Every structure is written in C-alpha cells, then in structure tokens.
Structure 1
Amino acid sequence: MSSKQTYRVCFCFRRRFRLAASEAPPDVKQLFAEYSDNGVMDAEHLRRFMEDVQEQKDATVEEAQAVIDSLKHLSIFHRRGFNLEGFFKYLFADDNQPINSKLGVHHDMTGPLSHYFIYTGHNSYLTGNQLSSDCSDVPIINALHRGVRVIELDIWPNSAGDNVNVLHGRTLTTPVELIKCLRSIKENAFVASEYPLVITLEDHLTPDLQAKVAEMINETFGEILFAPGSECLKDFPSPEFLKKRVIISTKPPKEYLKAKDVKVQEGDLKKEKDEEAWGSEPNYSKNDKDDEDGEEDEDDEEDTQEQQNEAPEYRQLIAIHAGKGKGGMQDWLRVDPDKVRRLSLSEQELEKAIEDYGRDIVRFTQRNLLRVYPKGIRFDSSNYNPLIAWSHGAQMVAFNMQGYGRSLWVMHGMFRANGGCGYVKKPDILLKPNAYGEVFDPNASLPVKTTLRVTVYMGEGWYYDFRHTHFDTYSPPDFYARVGIAGVPADTIMKKTKTLEDNWIPNWDEVFEFPLRVPELALLRIEVHEYDMSEKDDFAGQTCLPVVELCKGIRAIPLHNRKGVKYNSVKLLMRFELV
C-alpha cells in the first residue's frame, strides 16, 4: 500500500512540471488572419504587416522574404511562407528586438562633450563593498566591456611611499598597483565603443609621485592621450573629434601635504563609519577632505608659490579640469564664457541644490560637465535614482557598477540607447531655452506630449533557464509582471499584471497606458516576479529600455538577471504603441 502511494505522489510531481505548449495570444491570431491568405502569410503579406503594425515604413518584400527564409530550418512552415505557428515563432525570435540594433550609433556626435549623458563609473576598481572588498583591474575591464566611458581611480602612495596604488582610502580595501589598472584600461578601452574614454583621478599624492603618475600615463597611452596642455579648455571638443582618445580629468594640483599612511586599524575604521552614518565630518587632513570626489571647496586659481610646488608634467595631462570655487553653490554653478570645467556633487548636495538652484544647474550643464556621485554612507555599493541628475542635465552620473539593483538596471537601460556606445545625446529641452526663453524645470507642471500603450502578452523560457524547483518545490511558478516608467517625477509610475498560478508560460494579455510629459527622458521598466505566499516574492527577470528608441509593434523582449546578464531563453512578448 505504501509503495503504491509513493508511486502516485511521484507521478503527480512529474506531471505538475510538464511544460504545456505555448499558444499564440488572441491578438496575434487576429493579426495573422488579417495579413494572410488561406492560412499562409507570404513575403508580401509579411511586408505589409511589418509596415502597418511594426511601423517599419521602409520594409521591402526582399527583407520580408529573408525573414521567412531565416526560419525555414524549423520545418514548420508552408513552402510559400508562414503558417500561424511560424508567424508566432517569428514574433518571438531573437531578431525581433525592442531596440533596432542595426541603427548603431545614430545620434549627432559632433556636439561638445557637455551635450551628452556619459556612462560613468564610481570607484571603478572595487570588486564589492566600499569598505573591505578587493581593489582590482577586473571590475574596470568588465565595465569597459559593458560600454562604460568614465573610469574613476583613487590614487594613493604605497606603504613605502615610492610608488602609487589604487584603493579606497582610509578603508580596509586591498590595493592594486596603478600601472596594472592603466595597462588594463589601455587594452580594453575601445572594445565596446570607439568614443572617448575619460579617466577621473582622485589624487592623494605628493608632487614627486604626481610626476611618477604622469610618466606612467604618458608611457601607457602615448599618442592616444588627449592632453592639450592649456590651463583650461575654452570649449569641450566633441565625442566624434575625440574618437579613440583617452582623457584625464582631475583637480589641478596645488601644494599638497605629505601623503599619510593609508593603512588604518579596524577601530579607526569603525569610528569613521559611525561619524559618516550620523552626518558628522571625520577629522580628515586638508588634502583628504571630501574623499568621494577628491575636491576641496577652494578657488581654482593657484598663486605662483603654489605652482612652484607641483609637478608641471602632471598638470599638463589634465584635459578636463575639476574644482569648486571659494563661494557656495551659486559660485560653483557660475558659467564662465572663457573656459569650461567639471563640477562634482554628491547625490545629497545635488538634491539640496535643486531646491533653490534647479534651473541654474541645467544652465551650468549646457556648457560645463556635472558629475554626481553616491553619498558616503552607501557602504554596500548601492546606488541612487539617476533620473534626478539626468533631468537636470548632469552628464556624469557616477554609479557603483557592482551595486546591482533597480537603480543600476535603469542605468543599463539609458545606455542601451545610441548603439550602446556610452554617449547619449541630451534632449534639446536640456540644451537650450524654450520659446519663452525659460530653462527646463523637470519639476514644473508640464502637459502630456504622448501616451505609451504597452500590451504585455505573455512570457516563456523560465522552464529552460531555471531549475524546475527554483520557484516552487511542488508546482509550476505563479508569475506576474511589473511594468512602468522611470522618468521625471510626473511620469514615474509602476503597474502590475494579475498573477497567473501554476504556469511556466504565463499569458497575461493586459494593456497599460502611460501618459508621458517628457518622453525624451523616459525609460520603460519591466520586471517579472514569482508570487510567494509565505516569503518574499522570487525574482524572475528584468530589463529597462529607453522609450524614444523603442521599436513599435509586437516585439520579443529578452530579460536579464539581477546583474544585467541576459538569460538564454527568458523573454516576453509585448506590443508598443504611441497614441
């Protein structure tokens, strides 16, 4: 009796996990009926579908025939074209992408650097948290392969004081030699993009070590280094002009105090953590104040005596000068017609500045560069909402690329635009005043420009990419999708489908509409989760896509894991319309 009962349990267990065949949604069946004849969609039918529904206005019969031919190996098609099953497979195919990869780099790349959002890393050498992880060239290489165009290096004297290390100062992070990082940057700088690579140096060196750094940089990069040698650029060159060039950005050197030993005891570290967490300022030396961006609230101009104490060869390397003036925020945001520069603000400084100087920030970033970096208490390498900075024109929104989470997913989404080259042209609203001479204010009451209608049809692929007991030990998963917008405050929202129980191939077939006031800054956020009654819902995939680059019509949307790596099989079938 017991063996019989055991047999029944096992039989039910296996049957519950059997994969049902995916079936085309009703909309897809209806469209096939409209664009086919006697159950066959030939090349001309497909061309009309591509033109009318997919809004590929220049589609040709030859292109449509090539699509049909590319899927004939599946042996499920009529000899003259698609049957319904073939049409459904075409819609779910990898080539039916939500962003047209064939466009490549298609933004105007001839404007000054200040006219672009630039894919920017923060503490690019850290493998994990901000306090005790390893420093390595590996995360730098990974970032470059993803398309990151700004790499940050904190440079400090080694323990002997005769060489230069990269590490997060006054923490327990293990150092890596600067020369190793520079060589890895040289080897991987233009693997993912040929557009300029900026290295921001957070400098804690004495003049003799600055001279040593200058020698390393010159020997490593040679002719690809863009070093105009002037005190300050009058205008920034364009990404097109700077193709395959490396640019150094840091605060011009002054008379530095003797660098202190960077090793700290755990007791000192704990004290510093407590002080930062409660908002008090640690007792740093003048040279180390504001370690997160290496800048001091001092005037940018140096007197003759200070210039005699610096390494001139180091100064000549700096193409993008960074710094803050003696005054407060109003002085920091001063626009100089004779020179351009880079200003760095923490996420907290930016949020506070927006209250009184929002339009001044936008005006500043039309000509100058603004870098925003995570607040110091983000010890876990988490990130912040990048839209606050982007919507005020900040070009270098610096992120911990190992800080996986929704903020980084949005960052990934932004830089899927423009062929993934790491430079995205800012919209005109951030580059020039409106018809009334007013500078853009993302927090103002704005009219709706367009409405994005999103149909979430279905999903598939989890059965192949996950263990069959990953979501639930005894039954198929209960999936739901979250869809929404990351953008200016008035556009930001998330919505949710119903939860479908016990189904590896959820067929939601739900429509959502998103009125957009600033579609130029909007990103479509997509997540799938598996409902769990007793515990936290399980993560089942995500992606983020720039609205202005969405391909219209019915598209196959590949999903990614928490780290932004695309799954092999998991994807959604969705439709995008602007109404």
Structure 2
Amino acid sequence: MSKQTYRVCFCFRRRFHVAASEAPDAVKSMFDQYSENGTMTVDHLHRFLIEVQKEDKASKEDAQAIIDSLRELKHLNIFHRRGLNLEAFFKYLFGDINPPLSPTPVVHHDMTAPVSHYFIYTGHNSYLTGNQLNSDCSDVPIIRALQKGVRVIELDIWPNSKKDNVDVLHGGTMTAPVELIKCLRSIKEYAFVASEYPVVITLEDHLTPDLQAKVAEMVTQTLGEILFTPGSECLKEFPSPESLKRRIIISTKPPKEYLEAKEEKEKENDSQRGKGSADEEAWGKEVPNLKSLNNSACDKDDFDGGVDNDEEDSDDKSQHNEAPEYRKLIAIHAGKPKGGLKECLKVDPDKVRRLSLSEQQLENAVGTYGNDIVRFTQRNLLRIYPKGIRVDSSNYNPLIGWSHGAQMVAFNMQGYGRSLWLMHGMFRANGGCGYVKKPNFLLQTGPHNEVFDPKVKLPAKKTLKVTVYMGEGWYYDFPHTHFDAYSPPDFYARVGIAGVPADTVMKKTKTLEDNWIPSWNEEFEFPLSVPELALLRIEVHEYDMSEKDDFGGQTCLPVSELKQGIRAVPLHDHKGERYKSVKLLMRFEFI
C-alpha cells in the first residue's frame, strides 16, 4: 500500500468516528439541581417528575419503577447505591420510557357522542398499491391501513370483465383489479387489530341491480353479525363510536338517488354544452391535462365522472330497478342533493347523511360557504378527497377540512410526504384509536347562529415553548456515506406548527457541521390561538451545498397531547415508519 493511499484511508476512518452521546449542559444543570453529591435518589427523581416533567400524579413508586427499569441495563455502570448518577439520568431522559406522548395508548376522549362529532382516520382508494393510473389493486394496502388504525376504507366496485361478478379497481384507468370478496374478507380479518372502534366502508358504486344484489349477499355472508344495519331507512342521528364498537358500516349513495343525480347532471351538461357546465362552475372541478398522463386509458369523462369525483353516478340507467337487499345494507347515506352547494349544505333536522367534496371543491367553497360547512358538519358527515390530478397518489393540506369540521379527510395512505405526516400526527391522539373528538367550538352555535371561523385571527390562548437540545441515532440507522461520502453530516432541525392559518409557522436551528450527534440547544416559542387543532411538526435535514438537502427524519405530534418536560422524540422516515435509533432530546413547556 502506498503512503498516499494509507493517508486517505486513515483520514476516512478518523472523520467517520462517532463519539458517545454526552448529556447537554441543560441536562447537567438539571441533574445538579435535583441531586445531591452526584446522586439522584428516588425522592429527587420524584420531585423532578412533578416540577419539570409536569407529571402531577407521579408517585414515588413511579420514580422507583424508572430506576428499576434502568437497573436492567446491567452492562452500564450508571448507578450509585442509592440512586442514579448523571449518565443514568441522561439514559432515562433519552430512552424509550420517556416519550412525548403517553407511552401506553389509552382512549381518553368521550366516545359516546354521535359519530359526526369526531375526526375519523380516512383512506382514499384504499385498494391501490401505488399511483392512480396503472398500479395494482390489492387487499394488501387495505390490510396495512387497518393495521395502522385507519377507520374508513374506500372501495370502487365495478362489474368484472364477464359482467358476472364484482371487482375493485380505479375505473377508466389501467389499474389491475382485485376481487371484492377478497377485500371484504381482509377487512373482516383486520378491522379491529389496531382499534375496536367502527370501520366504515365507503363504496363508489358502478353496478347494475343484479350485481348490487350479489354484493348484498356477499357482504351479508362475509361480515355476518359485525355488519351494522340501521332499523330505519334513514338515521335521524348518527350512533356513537362506543355503541358501534367492533362493527362495520356501509356508506354509499342509495341506488335511486344515484340514478336521479346522474340524470340531472346529464341534463345540465346538455344545456351547458360548449360553455362550461353549471356543475363544474358550482363545484370547482379540476380535470387533469390528459396529454400529460402517459399511457392513460381514460378520457375527460372518466375524470369528470366516476373516476375521481367520489360517488358520482354510473352510466347504468337500469338502476331504476334497484336491489332492495343492497339498499338495506347502507347505514350512512351519501349523495349530493339537487340545487348546488348551498342546497347540499342544508341541515335536515329529521335525518343525517354524508356529503363528499374534492379538496378543490372545498377550497373554492370555504370563502363563501365556510360557516355553512361548519354548521353542516355539526350533525352530518363531510368527506374530502384528493382532486383528480393527483395521479401520483399525493395528498393535500388536511387542516382546511378539519378546521371546518370535516370528519372524513380522505388520504392516499400508500403515498408519503408532509401532508401525510400531518395525518399520522392527528391520529396519534386519543390512543391511536382512529377517532379524535372534535373541539367543542366546532360543535357549538352562538346566540346569533355564528360558528367557528378559522380565518378569523384570535388572541393566543397559550404559548408552546420548544427547546431542541440534541439528536442521535443516524450513525446506526443510516449507511455511513449516506449523507456525505467523506465527512460526517451537517444537520439542522426544523420545528413548527400546522394549524389554523394564524398559528401555522416553521422555524429552524443553525446547521452544525461534521457531527453525527448534533447538539443545537435552541429555543422556539409558538403562540397558539387554536391549540386544539395544532400539530407540532419536527423535521431534521442534512445541509447540502450543491444539491437538495438530505432528509434525516420527521415526526408530527398533536399539541393537545404533548407531555411537558424533557422528552425523547423518536423520528420516522418518509413513509412514517419509525427509525430504530434516530431521536431528538427536546423540552416542551406551555407558558
């Protein structure tokens, strides 16, 4: 080996050496404050839990349990006879036993209110494995969604190629179908592995009456007693999630209304031909540039009709002869009444229903009809779904829907990105059961019939102070040349709030060069006018001078459930899967 080669290898190994993580100065200072002669006793730790971690109900037994759990790490010499030394205290703070949310998922919201009083973890085109045009349809993404706690599964049902059975596929595209019966069996098997609370199946129906009858038989035989069927034609009020535990609910447009809406739409299109239909104007439809959709087996009518406009109507006129068995299965009636958006948002005191709008339709509507939308969602269900041009299975800002009371903000769960991270964050709340109780202000009407308006800037209710101390774990979870071939990474953190417009902001730390264990020690304050809808966003990136900065992890946490104090915050990858080692040490305070 030449001298020059030897030097390169020596330098390479030296520069990638990673030191053991050391407690930051703030932690050392805290230890000094809550210890005596270098030892933190049970009494000291108990006082720390109450005063710093804000665990008012913590007992000395809880403090002892923490010490006992650390004693199991026998390979570490981190104890004095009477308690913890600094290294042990640091191990506790940065350990899995000290998370930012409750370590044992517990459903703690009132679950006895009508279903319309909850945000519900909702999927869109739940059967797709990838993009919206030519990916496979399968029960696998349905299973994965249910395992993560998703409570609303969408199935688009079509006649199979022989017209004698029912497939699930994205109509008008080249997606490969999967049999409906396979999806139903998987839903039954996995519906309640992550949560006992009800699963809703929303159907986009493109079937003839004989196949609707076949679906009714299939659903009844497969789901059996766990299928919820209402005793009356229409529900006057939705049941509660508590009363519907371990039940599966069908929601779609009843056959008769399905046909009538289709005929009405055709009349409008005929009368408006050549100058843009009134329907498009009222709903703000967005049709993709089909020239840009390579190898697409669809035309404009596919996107303007059954493909991406949810329960838009099928072309089958034979639905005059509706299947009564099929109608009886529908517990949550969907549909868009005639007369435009104003009519659709009218609240009927004698029955409840579900309305679906695309993200673009919602954005167009909130300026004029924002208050009507909030009033509608106090009793009825509103489902928002991605606009048709999101052929890559990307998503949109869910806060627009949530801040107007929309319960079913439907997402492509097989995608990834910041919007989906927000969805994951919202449904980490309430024990991850898939149902999050809406704030009271979204359920109340004032003396002058006024309702919550997310666009109105309100005074801050509280201020969240966030301290980013340090991070570790990248050296173990990433290849050592992942960020830079010749030197350690240059990490910075981004911290911010997603919420109503007045609260939404992102801030960042300084960039620390050449360090696998960055120690930022920076504080940020976030005044929150609507903390009930706020999500704390946390990201880590590696600065790259010549290219796009590298991704180093993310998480999103509901502010309403943050545990105060110094906490170990595990980070996740692009798709939301938790890294084995990567985490941040942070402090959260409400001031």
**TM-score, with length taken from structure 2:** 0.91
1:168-247 paired onto structure 2 within 5 Å: 168-247=170-249
Q: Is the 8 A contact 1:345 1:372 kept in 2?
A: yes
Root-mean-square deviation (Å)? 2.1
The alpha carbon displacement at 1:306 in A equals: 8.6
Deviations 1:240-286 (A, max 9, x none): 000000000000012769x9xxxxxxxxxxxx9535979x9923599
Q: Report the residue type matching 1:87 in the other structure.
A: F
Aligned to 1:26: 25
* Whole-angstrom CA distance in 2 between matches of 1:546 and 1:354: 24
Where structure 2 has 5 or more consecutive residues not aligned to the other structure, the ranges are 263-286
Where structure 1 has 5 or more consecutive residues not aligned to the other structure, the ranges are 260-271, 298-304
1:284-295 paired onto structure 2 within 5 Å: 288-289=305-306, 291-295=308-312
The alpha carbon displacement at 1:228 in A equals: 1.2
Paired residue secondary structure (1:107): coil
Match of 2:301 among 283, 292, 299: 283
* Whole-angstrom CA distance in 2 between matches of 1:118 and 1:469: 41
Q: Report the residue type matching 2:310 in the other structure.
A: D
The alpha carbon displacement at 1:496 in A equals: 0.5
The alpha carbon displacement at 1:291 in A equals: 4.2
Q: Is the 8 A contact 2:149 2:195 kept in 1?
A: yes
* Whole-angstrom CA distance in 2 between matches of 1:35 and 1:426: 40
Range that drifts further, 13-22 or 74-83: 74-83
Q: Is the 8 A contact 1:205 1:256 kept in 2?
A: no
Deviations 1:408-456 (A, max 9, x none): 0000000000000000000011011357652000001211111100000
Match of 2:289 among 255, 274, 283: 274
1:46-57 paired onto structure 2 within 5 Å: 46-57=45-56
* Whole-angstrom CA distance in 2 between matches of 1:308 and 1:347: 31
Q: Is the 8 A contact 1:413 1:523 kept in 2?
A: yes
Aligned to 1:123: 125
Range that drifts further, 102-111 or 145-154: 102-111
Corresponding residue pairs, total = 556
Runs of 4+ with deviation above 2 angstroms: 254-257, 272-278, 280-286, 288-292, 305-308, 433-438
Paired residue secondary structure (2:356): strand
* Whole-angstrom CA distance in 1 between matches of 2:388 and 2:154: 16
Paired residue secondary structure (2:362): helix
**TM-score, with length taken from structure 1:** 0.93
Range that drifts further, 13-22 or 496-505: 13-22
* Whole-angstrom CA distance in 2 between matches of 1:32 and 1:249: 56
Range that drifts further, 229-238 or 500-509: 229-238
* Whole-angstrom CA distance in 2 between matches of 1:276 and 1:316: 42
* Whole-angstrom CA distance in 1 between matches of 2:447 and 2:590: 25
* Whole-angstrom CA distance in 2 between matches of 1:295 and 1:133: 22
Q: Is the 8 A contact 2:311 2:335 kept in 1?
A: no
* Whole-angstrom CA distance in 2 between matches of 1:484 and 1:406: 12
Cα distance 1:103–1:153, how it changes in 2: closer, same or farther (>3 A)?
A: closer
Q: Is the 8 A contact 1:135 1:175 kept in 2?
A: yes
1:365-444 paired onto structure 2 within 5 Å: 365-434=377-446, 438-444=450-456
* Whole-angstrom CA distance in 1 between matches of 2:201 and 2:35: 56
Range that drifts further, 431-440 or 154-163: 431-440
* Whole-angstrom CA distance in 2 between matches of 1:45 and 1:498: 34
Paired residue secondary structure (1:6): helix
Aligned to 1:480: 492
Q: Is the 8 A contact 1:229 1:318 kept in 2?
A: no
* Whole-angstrom CA distance in 2 between matches of 1:420 and 1:283: 39
Sequence identity percentage = 75
* Whole-angstrom CA distance in 1 between matches of 2:206 and 2:311: 8
Aligned to 1:517: 529
1:74-93 paired onto structure 2 within 5 Å: 74-93=76-95
Q: Is the 8 A contact 2:464 2:528 kept in 1?
A: yes
Q: Is the 8 A contact 1:276 1:282 kept in 2?
A: no
* Whole-angstrom CA distance in 2 between matches of 1:159 and 1:102: 48
* Whole-angstrom CA distance in 1 between matches of 2:155 and 2:95: 41
Q: Is the 8 A contact 2:303 2:309 kept in 1?
A: no
Paired residue secondary structure (1:448): coil
Q: Is the 8 A contact 2:79 2:85 kept in 1?
A: yes
Paired residue secondary structure (1:208): helix
Q: Report the residue type matching 1:126 in the other structure.
A: L
Aligned to 2:507: 495
Aligned to 1:353: 365
Deviations 1:177-225 (A, max 9, x none): 0000000000000000000000000000000000000000000100110
Q: Is the 8 A contact 1:296 1:324 kept in 2?
A: no
The alpha carbon displacement at 1:290 in A equals: 6.3
Q: Is the 8 A contact 1:484 1:524 kept in 2?
A: yes
Paired residue secondary structure (1:534): coil
Deviations 1:306-351 (A, max 9, x none): 9860000000000000001111111000000000000000001001
* Whole-angstrom CA distance in 1 between matches of 2:105 and 2:387: 37
Q: Is the 8 A contact 2:97 2:103 kept in 1?
A: no
* Whole-angstrom CA distance in 1 between matches of 2:45 and 2:344: 57
Deviations 1:358-389 (A, max 9, x none): 01100100000000000000000000000000
Cα distance 1:285–1:566, how it changes in 2: closer, same or farther (>3 A)?
A: closer
* Whole-angstrom CA distance in 1 between matches of 2:38 and 2:555: 35
- Is the counterpart of residue 335 in structure 1 residue 344 in structure 2? no
Q: Report the residue type matching 1:524 in the other structure.
A: L
The alpha carbon displacement at 1:402 in A equals: 1.1
* Whole-angstrom CA distance in 2 between matches of 1:440 and 1:577: 27
Aligned to 1:447: 459
Q: Is the 8 A contact 1:479 1:503 kept in 2?
A: yes
* Whole-angstrom CA distance in 2 between matches of 1:434 and 1:465: 52
The alpha carbon displacement at 1:87 in A equals: 0.5
Aligned to 1:267: none
